[in-house]
Structure 1
Amino acid sequence: MAAPVAFFEVTSQDSERAQGFYGAMFGWQVSGTEEFGGYGLVDTGAGEEAIGGGIGPVEQGDSPGVRIYVRVDDLEAALQRAEDLGGARLVPPTDLPSGYGRFAMFADPDGNAVGLWG
């Protein structure tokens, strides 16, 4: 079975401004910003089956931008496959807070960062 896009993320130097912008632009509800250090979880209002997302501050050493996260069964195997295909590991499998699972990241051969979620 193919791996679905499961999550999107927008990072900004001013996450509060970005949350307000995307909320007003698309009617999205953003919550949990204080609980997650300024990172807000997005409810697009498109129902239970819709892809969820987050809007938050840029991590040190990273750049602002938009990123997708693809759901996979095995983070380590997916990272290895990315390397075998010419990509590079960026973030090893890492636990997310509050029981949201685990994530990892790789760069494709062009340097685009792609998230994995499992």
Structure 2
Amino acid sequence: MTTDARTPEHPHRPAWFDLSTPDAPRARRFYRDLFGWPVQQLDETYALVGADGGEPTGGIGQAGPGSPYTGIVVYFPVPDVEAALARAEELGGRRRLEPQSVPGRGRIAVFDDPDGNPVGLLGA
């Protein structure tokens, strides 16, 4: 049997999304009203999105002057964030957010692909 990105067995299916916006309260309302997303606000700058009582699947954050990006970034699971980031650079990507630890999620990083699209990495 072959697997593709639509099957749960695919190792690089999206693992998380993050929406960074200059108006997080507006974005939270918009997506909650559009898709019915339950939103759990953690503080003034960030909220988790996911099923009530279930594992969150993404977040909506307030972009500020020092934010590494605005817009939606999809995070893909990798065994080693630093190694995957280095490989992305070898293939023509450019670092946007250095690897860092996120409580409860592991390590993350963001790079731009050769066309300038931000892509996230999520690993242990």
Same fold, judged at TM 0.5 (above):
yes
Runs of at least 4 residues off by over 3 Å? none
Q: Deviations over 1:25-84 (max 9, x none)?
A: 1000111331xx421000156x76xx7111111142544311100110001110111011
Q: Which amino acid aligns with 1:68?
A: V
- The residue number in structure 2 matching 1:70 is 76
Instruction: Check if 1:43 corresponds to 2:50.
Output: yes
5+ residue gaps, structure 1, are: none
Instruction: Check if 1:32 corresponds to 2:26.
Output: no
Q: Which amino acid aligns with 2:117?
A: N
SS in 2 for 1:91: strand
Instruction: Check if 1:14 corresponds to 2:23.
Output: yes
Residues 69-108 of structure 1 aligned to structure 2 (within 5 Å): 69-96=75-102, 98-108=103-113
Alpha carbons of structure 1 residues 44 and 64: separation in structure 2 relative to 1, 3 Å: farther
For 2:79 and 2:69, locate their aligned partners in 1 and report how far apart those are by CA, in whole Å. Answer: 28
CA RMSD, 1 decimal:
2.0
Q: Which amino acid aligns with 1:33?
A: L
Identity %: 45
Give, in angstroms, the shift of residue 11 of structure 1. 1.6
The aligned length equals: 112
Give TM-score scaled by structure 1 length: 0.83
5+ residue gaps, structure 2, are: 1-9
Give the conservation status (yes or no) of the 8 Å contact 2:68–2:97: no
* More deviation, 1-10/102-111: 1-10
